[in-house]
């Protein structure tokens, strides 16, 4: 092998040997963003950090997408030991009861008339660390663990019906903008530049921004807020028929909010204190569990008629067309005896479903089905579901072939850890036909990134024009302009005002007056680094981050929605 270098011979021009070729710490630390090339963790160049591979234009994600899986896996391990997101939280125990049977739509045992189960609920803020303030302007997590007789069902929700994004690979990047600045170590309460920079480059976040900067941005504790799963799920009945569904938790206490000015007077643990002592004093908070449902055909028609995408976490279903149906209610009547054991260690996972509830092709939901249990295995341990607060409470002795690993308290004894013919285990007949429920996606694998379209501004515009009263509008302008005062780049503010202008000229004009910054006339003349701009006048501005050709080849026009023909073969 004469082509091999001789022993001791330099392998590279800089004199380093093969074993010495590695990344240089100082070079990496001091390199600017402009000096780098975006790659996967193994060094392979990759065209855009936000795109994902899907089965066709509106189907599930692909496990072969190493970029996404690697991104999420690393993201889930970025904090030890507190949660990467939702680190500051409160929790309690209680009971759920089905008051209005849902058996016509779901075969889940828990939805039978008068069925009850114990629950654990954890509320939280999203961006702050475990010692952050309860009254921060931030979405709130609202997760419920239903311990049903068919296993645990985790409804992982927020107090807002939408979120900042609809492309799953954006999530780690967005959360990074909610954390401390890598140089100054300041949060966006003192330096909001990164926060507004992300929002100004990803306009689909506008509906959530309207909610966040409005009165609902700081709920008055956890008892006075609603919860929304946000993602579309599927309810499957005993006949195998299914519908899309949105799940809502409606506070029986009503909703209350705290103004930005008043939040400064509250205790850092205000929400924890309020919840704990309300329960301790017998003032048990309760919520109604309600669902919105639509058929597969209705989902297709909704896109064709109103451009509302049931797979889009930034869209809501109009309640005038899809009214809420009450299913049951739950009450919290028991505080944790030990916060760490029962609240810090509780682990919710949107993939924890029971027969009769199935995931949809919502790409952010699909991503979370992997990301949540992955982070629990890292943060708590591979056997996190053996902890008492996470363990199922089923009427049968359950078994699987998951053995060993750290903290394996229950290791299934001497039973064979494979499918044995000598000592066979029992199986229950399948209650949900997965082929019928999920088996209609056919297409080519594509690299997908969503685009900004006019419909993205319809719901935010209704919020400003029809929901906010004059006082709410004034508070909103004060909240946004006050937060923007800590943004050190005027260009970012000009771009964000352009996005607000697509919502309302009145809103944009008020912000210009409050900030002293003249924004752009709209987004038609802008390009974004995070999203394709479907509203751009110039074709050169449409592709995100200058991805030449990608916008046209990967955006068939439906933005990932279930357009007509998606559900062919299913009953109307």
Catalytic residues: 86, 158
The token pair that represents 441 in the structure block: 């996606």
Burial of 357 (0-12, 13-18, 19+ CB in 10 A): buried
Cα dihedral sign, 530-535-540-542: positive
Q: Give the whole-angstrom CA distance, residue 368 versus residue 61.
A: 11
Q: Give the whole-angstrom CA distance, residue 140 versus residue 88.
A: 10
Is residue 141 within 8 Å of 147, Cβ to Cβ?
no
Cα dihedral sign, 537-543-549-555: negative
**Which positions make up the binding site for heme?**
372
Is residue 204 within 8 Å of 456, Cβ to Cβ?
yes
The separation between CA 516 and the C-alpha centre of its own chain, rounded to angstroms, equals 34
- Looking up tokens 């004059």 gives 470
Pairing of strands 151-158, 89-98: unpaired
Is residue 94 within 8 Å of 279, Cβ to Cβ?
no
Write the DSSP string, 73-121.
HHHTTSSSSS-SSS-SEEEEEEEEEESS--TTT---GGGSTT-EEEEEE
The token pair that represents 485 in the structure block: 């005062």
Is residue 478 within 8 Å of 215, Cβ to Cβ?
no
**Which positions make up the binding site?**
372
The token pair that represents 554 in the structure block: 């990967």
- Rounded to 10 deg, the angle between the 170-178 and 193-201 helix axes is 150
Closest CA to 173 of 189, 153, 191, 195: 195
The residues near 118 (Cβ < 8 Å, ≥ 6 apart) are 93, 94, 95, 96, 147, 393
Q: Give the whole-angstrom CA distance, residue 191 versus residue 329.
A: 42
The residues near 174 (Cβ < 8 Å, ≥ 6 apart) are 164, 165, 198, 202
Task: Indicate the helix (H) or strand (E) that contains 460.
Answer: helix 458-462
């Amino acid at each position: 092998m004469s082509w091999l270098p001789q022993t001791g011979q330099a392998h590279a021009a800089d004199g380093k040997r093969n074993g010495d070729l590695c990344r240089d710490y100082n070079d990496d630390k001091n390199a600017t963003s402009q000096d780098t090339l975006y790659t996967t963790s193994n060094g392979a160049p990759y065209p855009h950090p936000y795109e994902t591979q899907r089965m066709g234009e509106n189907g599930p994600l692909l496990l072969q997408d190493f970029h996404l899986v690697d991104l999420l896996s690393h993201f889930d391990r970025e904090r030890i030991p507190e949660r990467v997101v939702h680190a500051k939280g409160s929790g309690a125990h209680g009971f759920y009861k089905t008051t209005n049977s849902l058996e016509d739509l779901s075969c889940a045992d828990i939805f039978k008339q008068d069925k009850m189960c114990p629950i654990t609920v954890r509320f939280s803020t999203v961006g702050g660390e475990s010692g952050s303030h309860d009254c921060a302007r931030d979405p709130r997590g609202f997760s419920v663990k239903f311990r049903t007789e068919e296993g645990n069902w985790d409804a992982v929700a927020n107090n807002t019906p939408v979120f900042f994004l609809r492309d799953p690979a954006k999530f780690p990047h967005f959360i990074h903008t909610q954390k401390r600045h890598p140089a100054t170590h300041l949060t966006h309460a003192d330096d909001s530049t990164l926060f507004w920079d992300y929002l100004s480059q990803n306009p689909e976040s506008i509906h959530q921004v309207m909610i966040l900067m409005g009165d609902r941005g700081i709920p008055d504790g956890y008892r006075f807020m609603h919860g929304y799963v946000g993602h579309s799920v599927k309810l499957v009945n005993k006949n195998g028929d299914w519908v899309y569904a949105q799940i809502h938790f409606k506070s029986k206490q009503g909703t209350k909010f705290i103004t930005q000015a008043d939040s400064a007077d509250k205790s850092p643990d205000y929400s924890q204190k309020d919840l704990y002592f309300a329960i301790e004093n017998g003032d048990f908070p309760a919520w109604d569990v309600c669902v919105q449902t639509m058929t597969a055909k209705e989902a297709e028609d909704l896109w064709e008629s109103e451009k509302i995408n049931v797979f889009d976490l930034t869209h809501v279903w109009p309640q005038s067309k899809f009214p809420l149906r009450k299913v049951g209610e739950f009450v919290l009547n028991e505080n944790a005896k030990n916060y760490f054991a029962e609240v810090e260690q509780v682990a919710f996972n949107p993939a924890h479903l029971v027969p009769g509830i199935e995931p949809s092709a919502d790409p952010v939901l699909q991503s979370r089905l992997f990301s949540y249990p992955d982070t629990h295995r890292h943060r708590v341990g591979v056997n996190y579901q053996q902890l008492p607060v996470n363990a199922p409470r089923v009427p049968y002795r359950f078994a699987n072939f998951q053995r060993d690993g750290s903290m394996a308290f229950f290791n299934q004894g001497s039973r064979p850890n494979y499918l044995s013919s000598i000592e066979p285990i029992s199986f229950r007949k399948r209650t949900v036909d997965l082929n019928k429920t999920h088996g209609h996606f056919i297409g080519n694998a594509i690299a997908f990134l969503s685009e900004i379209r006019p419909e993205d501004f319809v719901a935010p515009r209704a919020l400003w024009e029809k929901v906010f009263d004059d006082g709410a509008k004034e508070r909103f302008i004060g909240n946004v302009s006050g937060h923007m005062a800590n943004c050190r780049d005027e260009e970012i503010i000009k771009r964000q005002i352009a996005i607000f202008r697509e919502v309302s000229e009145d809103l944009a004009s008020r912000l210009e007056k409050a900030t002293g910054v003249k924004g752009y006339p709209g987004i038609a003349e802008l390009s974004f680094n995070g999203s394709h701009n479907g509203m751009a006048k110039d074709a050169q501005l449409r592709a995100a981050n200058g991805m030449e050709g990608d916008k046209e080849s990967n955006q068939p026009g439906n933005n990932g929605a279930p357009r007509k023909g998606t559900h062919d073969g299913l009953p109307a």
